[in-house]
């Protein structure tokens, strides 16, 4: 497919996406969506935002974290503490939860960026486990008994869904425009080979920092919105490795390093989880088998494979030389 | 002629293993310095120390009258040190053009728009212009070597470091690469060039340095260095009394 044809296809797809999103907002606002469907779409939006951020780190920048649950749990507890203890509005908790998660990422980066590859991944995982232990024994957050989220004013599922949908859109656009920027060019180079990128002038520490802090911020906000809907938080759930396992599954299924892979992956993951919830003992096994099959049959994920096969790229990040 | 680079008693290595020992040499502006030496003598490590991938434990590296010993690799690239790798390390998921664009934008500090003509210039000089939209992971070894040079040129370097650009190529391909280096020399680049095709180095360099055990064994006129018994003994394994 020629460059101008790809451009036209991308524009057409963009228009379709904008129309679909506008219809979604309208239907949600008018109460035309069934509450159960809205709950499912809410999950899709939150996983999409988290998957997009993990994809930015691992798929584009070579920074694989296994500790995204640190941000989810920390931000979830921020919501619980702010709303239950201090009766603050959830809007403030969304902002503070995001900022605290970003600050956690900033603090961790000072130590963890000395590590590479698997060592970095394990360090982020251990941090999440340490946070789980701390919150389980911390009296202020009621130890392992968990906390109830008392929201004032209490938002409807429609309002929470609109927040989640907005978060997914903003996260996708922020990552897309970041990768299209001068910084993004360096991030992509770093993801390919950090030493070689450094030797052509890319500031590796700054690039990693941008990714990690941004991922912390958005993953934290997703955590706040998730627990707004759930209504209670426990250390075992908030800091569970299941969060990262789900995010990794979503990105692998959708397509690592593709712009829309996390969107497709989150839709598939949530629908599969809903279906498999009838078989609690089997759900994780079946999800694992699906992930393995996709890795073997379509190593570029669903979106990546389709893009390669039909020579197109949705929300392409390619830079072209002038004709 | 004014010195562009000075290595002053540099000792450096990886972890506890020191590869360079008290290495001292200088390079003048516009000069092409060839570097030879047996495998493992520290040639590539010298480049790694020079671009900032490793930090010397002793000694100083002076570039453009600034002490860059502790400076980060990306800052040195921005000061004008461009480097190729012995085993090419292209950004495999990116196109040929994007590889050079990264260097021009981050190494030379240009905007993407301002960088375009410079990238095209580098691609034409290295014979990669027609492959500018090819994903670099699919390139042949010769083209990867060309891309290494094009990417280094993208940073708009004052000093160009070439690490065995002819290694692993066929005789015909070596000729192409040598011509490319000759063109770069004609453009006035200051070059440090590590190579094993020694005969070509004699004709293409202003000075030749032979390294052994991480230090400078001999530096001077290429022909004199080549004919030195000391170099023969260390580099070619010929005993002086044979």
Residue B183 lies in a domain: yes
Residue B42 lies in a domain: yes
- pLDDT classification of A111: cutoffs 50, 70, 90: very high
Residue B240 lies in a domain: no
Q: Which letter, b or e, does each residue of A305-321 get, where b requires 16 or more Cβ atoms within 10 Å of its Cβ? A: bbbeeeeebbbbbebeb
The phi, psi pair for A109, rounded to 5°, reads -60, -35
- Taking only the tens place, the pLDDT of each residue in A219-245 is 999 999 999 999 999 999 999 999 999
Interchain proximity B102–A202, CB inside 8 Å = yes
Q: Which letter, b or e, does each residue of A5-29 get, where b requires 16 or more Cβ atoms within 10 Å of its Cβ? A: ebeebeeeeeeebeeeeeebeeebe
Instruction: Give, as one character, the DSSP assignment of residue B138.
Output: G
Interchain proximity B85–A196, CB inside 8 Å = yes
What is the distance, to the nearest Å, from the Cα of residue A15 to the centroid of all Cα atoms in its chain?
24
- pLDDT classification of A1: cutoffs 50, 70, 90: low
Beta bridge partners of A93: none
Pick from B71, B96, B105 the residue to mutate for testing the A interface (most A CBs within 10 Å). B105
Which residue in the set A193, A203, A319 is minimally distant from B89, CB to CB?
A: A193
CA distance B126 to B151: 10
CA distance A35 to A254: 26
Residue B241 lies in a domain: no
Which residue in the set B72, B97, B103 is minimally distant from A200, CB to CB?
A: B103
Query: Residue A105: helix, strand or coil by DSSP?
Result: helix
Q: Is the pLDDT of residue B113 over 90?
A: yes
Q: Shortest Cα distance from B240 to chain A (angstroms)?
A: 41
Q: Shortest Cα distance from A191 to chain B (angstroms)?
A: 8
The Cα angle at residue A311 between residues A192 and A295, in degrees rounded to 5: 55
CA distance A232 to B130: 60
- Taking only the tens place, the pLDDT of each residue in B25-64 is 999 999 999 999 988 899 999 999 999 999 999 999 999 9
**Residue B133, domain CATH:** 3.40.50.300
Q: Is the pLDDT of residue B240 over 60?
A: no
Residue B94 lies in a domain: yes
Residue B242: the pLDDT is: 42
List chain A residues with CB under 8 Å of B72. Answer: 198, 203
Q: Which residues of B touch A (CB under 8 A)?
A: 51-53, 72-74, 77-78, 82-83, 85, 89-95, 97-99, 101-103, 105-109, 111-112, 116, 119-120, 123, 132-133, 151-152, 154-155
Instruction: Give, as one character, the DSSP assignment of residue B130.
Output: G
Q: Is the pLDDT of residue B238 over 80?
A: no
Residue B242 lies in a domain: no
Residue B206 lies in a domain: yes
* Torsion angle of C-alpha atoms B193, B194, B200, B202, degrees rounded to 10: 70
Which residue in the set B78, B94, B109 is minimally distant from A189, CB to CB?
A: B94
- Taking only the tens place, the pLDDT of each residue in A254-299 is 999 998 999 999 999 999 999 998 888 888 889 889 999 999 999 9
Which residue in the set A196, A198, A257 is minimally distant from B91, CB to CB?
A: A196
Which residue in the set B74, B92, B95 is minimally distant from A203, CB to CB?
A: B74
The phi, psi pair for B95, rounded to 5°, reads -75, 170
What percentage of chain B carries pLDDT values higher than 70? 96
Interchain proximity A192–B83, CB inside 8 Å = no
Task: For residue B161, give the chain A residue with the closest CA.
Answer: A199
Q: What share of chain A is helix, strand, coil (3-state, %, to 5)?
A: 75, 0, 25
Write the ipTM.
Answer: 0.87
Pick from A114, A201, A202, A299 the residue to mutate for testing the B interface (most B CBs within 10 Å). A201
CA distance A205 to A113: 7
Structural domain boundaries enclosing B46: 3-234
Beta bridge partners of A171: none
Residue B186: the pLDDT is: 87
Residue B179 · residue B203 · CB < 8 Å: no
Which residue in the set B89, B97, B116 is minimally distant from A196, CB to CB?
A: B89
- pLDDT classification of B239: cutoffs 50, 70, 90: low
The phi, psi pair for A100, rounded to 5°, reads -60, -40
Interchain proximity B106–A185, CB inside 8 Å = yes
What average pLDDT score do residues A62-87 get? 96
Which residue in the set A197, A318, A320 is minimally distant from B102, CB to CB?
A: A197
Interchain proximity A200–B152, CB inside 8 Å = yes
Residue A313: the pLDDT is: 81
- Name the least confident of A312-321, B14-23, B100-109: A312-321
List chain A residues with CB under 8 Å of B133. Answer: 320-321
- Taking only the tens place, the pLDDT of each residue in A182-191 is 999 999 999 9
Task: For residue A189, give the chain B residue with the closest CA.
Answer: B91
Interchain proximity B92–A192, CB inside 8 Å = yes
| pTM of this structure | 0.90
Q: Which letter, b or e, does each residue of A238-271 get, where b requires 16 or more Cβ atoms within 10 Å of its Cβ? A: bbbeebbbbbbbbbbbbbbbbbbbbbbbbbbbbe
Query: Residue A122: helix, strand or coil by DSSP?
Result: helix
Interchain proximity B72–A188, CB inside 8 Å = no
List chain B residues with CB under 8 Å of A196. Answer: 85, 89-91
Q: Shortest Cα distance from B82 to chain A (angstroms)?
A: 7
Query: Residue B83: helix, strand or coil by DSSP?
Result: strand
- Name the least confident of A24-33, A148-157, B33-42, B232-241: B232-241
Q: Which letter, b or e, does each residue of A151-169 get, where b requires 16 or more Cβ atoms within 10 Å of its Cβ? A: beeebeebebbbbbbebbb
- pLDDT classification of B4: cutoffs 50, 70, 90: very high
Q: How many domains does chain B have?
A: 1
Q: Is the pLDDT of residue B200 over 90?
A: no
Interchain proximity B97–A185, CB inside 8 Å = no
What average pLDDT score do residues B143-164 get? 94
Residue B111 · residue B105 · CB < 8 Å: yes
């Amino acid at each position: 497919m020629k460059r101008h044809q790809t451009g036209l296809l991308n524009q057409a797809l963009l228009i379709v996406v904008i129309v679909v999103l506008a219809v979604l907002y309208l239907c949600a606002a008018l109460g035309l969506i069934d509450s159960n469907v809205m709950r499912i779409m809410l999950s899709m939006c939150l996983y999409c935002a988290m998957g997009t951020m993990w994809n930015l780190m691992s798929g584009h920048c070579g920074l694989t974290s296994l500790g995204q649950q640190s941000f989810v749990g920390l931000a979830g507890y921020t919501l619980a503490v702010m709303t239950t203890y201090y009766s603050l509005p959830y809007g403030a908790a969304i902002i503070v939860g995001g900022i605290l998660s970003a600050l956690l990422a900033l603090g961790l980066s000072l130590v963890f960026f000395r590590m590479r590859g698997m060592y970095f991944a394990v360090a982020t995982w251990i941090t999440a486990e340490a946070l789980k232990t701390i919150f389980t024994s911390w009296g202020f957050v009621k130890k392992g008994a968990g906390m109830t989220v008392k929201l004032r004013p209490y938002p409807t599922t429609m309002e929470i869904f609109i927040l989640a949908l907005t978060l997914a859109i903003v996260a996708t656009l922020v990552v897309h425009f970041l990768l299209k920027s001068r910084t993004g060019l360096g991030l992509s180079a770093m993801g390919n080979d950090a030493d070689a990128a450094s030797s052509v002038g890319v500031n590796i520490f700054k690039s990693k920092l941008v990714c990690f802090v941004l991922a912390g911020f958005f993953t934290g906000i997703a955590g706040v919105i998730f627990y707004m809907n759930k209504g209670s938080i426990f250390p075992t759930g908030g800091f569970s490795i299941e969060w990262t396992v789900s995010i990794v599954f979503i990105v692998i299924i959708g397509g690592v390093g593709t712009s829309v892979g996390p969107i497709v992956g989150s839709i598939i993951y949530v629908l599969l989880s809903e279906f498999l919830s009838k078989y609690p003992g089997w759900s994780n096994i079946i999800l694992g088998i699906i992930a393995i099959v996709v890795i073997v049959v379509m190593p570029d994920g669903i979106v990546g494979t389709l893009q390669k096969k039909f020579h197109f790229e949705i929300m392409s990040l390619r830079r072209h030389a002038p004709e | 002629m004014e010195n562009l680079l000075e290595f002053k008693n540099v000792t450096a290595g990886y972890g506890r293993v020191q590869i360079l020992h008290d290495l001292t040499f200088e390079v003048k502006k516009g000069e092409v310095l060839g570097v030879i030496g047996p495998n493992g003598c520290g040639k590539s490590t010298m480049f790694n120390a020079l671009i900032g991938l490793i930090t010397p434990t002793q000694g100083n590296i002076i570039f453009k009258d600034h002490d860059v010993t502790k400076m980060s690799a990306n800052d040195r690239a921005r000061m004008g040190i461009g480097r190729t790798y012995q085993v090419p390390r292209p950004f495999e998921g990116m196109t040929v053009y994007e590889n050079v664009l990264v260097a021009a934008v981050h190494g030379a500090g240009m905007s993407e728009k301002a960088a375009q003509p410079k990238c095209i210039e580098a691609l034409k000089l290295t014979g990669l212009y027609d492959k500018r939209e090819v994903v670099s992971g699919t390139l042949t070894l010769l083209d990867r070597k060309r891309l290494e040079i094009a990417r280094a040129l993208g940073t708009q370097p004052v000093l160009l470091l070439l690490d065995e650009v002819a290694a692993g190529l066929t005789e015909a391909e070596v000729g192409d690469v040598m011509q490319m280096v000759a063109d770069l020399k004609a453009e006035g680049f200051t070059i440090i060039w590590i190579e094993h095709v020694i005969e070509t180095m004699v004709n293409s360099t202003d000075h030749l340095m032979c390294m052994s055990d991480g230090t400078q064994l001999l530096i001077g006129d290429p022909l004199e260095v080549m004919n030195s018994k000391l170099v023969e003994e260390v580099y070619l394994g010929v005993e002086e009394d044979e």
